[in-house]
Amino acid sequence: MERLQKVLARAGVASRRKAEGLILEGKVKVNGSVVTELGTKVTNSDRVEVEGIQVVKENFVYYLLYKPRGYISTVHDEKGRKTVLDLMPGVEQRIFPVGRLDYDTSGVIIMTNDGDFSYTMTHPKFGIRKQYIAKVKGVPTREALKKLEHGIELEDGLTAPANVKMRSMDKKTQTALVEITISEGKNRQVRRMFDAIGCPVVKLRRESFASLTTVGLNAGEARELTTHEVKQLRVLAETGKIG
């Protein structure tokens, strides 16, 4: 027997966290009855439905997408804005983004229908590192960069230690390019971290997700991850080292 939210994640319905939300909202039925308890366990013989549609396990797929600015990292948007799914019209599986990049941020994002994989790639305890290049207004002092490295107190808690490096600065325009690598994913975290030191982000790009980069892709393009790349990411989550 497996927990219901894990079954939904394995079936590609949603990430494990979002699957929990579907259960709590009363959108999941087991053998015809609505289930709202997260501890519920089911077997392979149980009939599971989400919003009236029977859950059938899909073959897992994994893509690397070079997200451009101007797209929402969700499956649906209530405001009718373009989503990352609009960039991948030929994919038959019910894929979703692993984590998120906000509307004005570009760069690496993984798309999959494997909820367990998404969980291990995004939960802070697995320490998957993401590198960003931020163009900021103002030139951060060394002391300010040290604050980013050691952790910044935000409204939702202290950020984990980060690696920070000044790439370049332009004293005439009072802007700077700063490289920052983090291992967690609070909402709009990088932007809020720079706001906290008085250097708001003008432009933001995710350069890498673990060992994955956008090399060979143009903005808006995607490619399927190789079996080896997926295996490397799993090993990294389990051991902290690339296998």
C-beta neighbour count of 151 within 10 angstroms: 14
Does residue 104 have an active-site annotation?
A: no
| 46, 77, 86, 102: the active-site residue | 102
Q: Which residues in 61-84 are b (16+ Cβ under 10 Å) and which e? A: bbbbbbbbeebbbeeeeeeeeebb
Contacts 24+ apart (CB under 8 A), 223-227: 223/63, 223/64, 224/61, 224/62, 224/63, 224/64, 225/62, 225/63, 225/64, 225/110
Which residues have a catalytic role annotated?
102
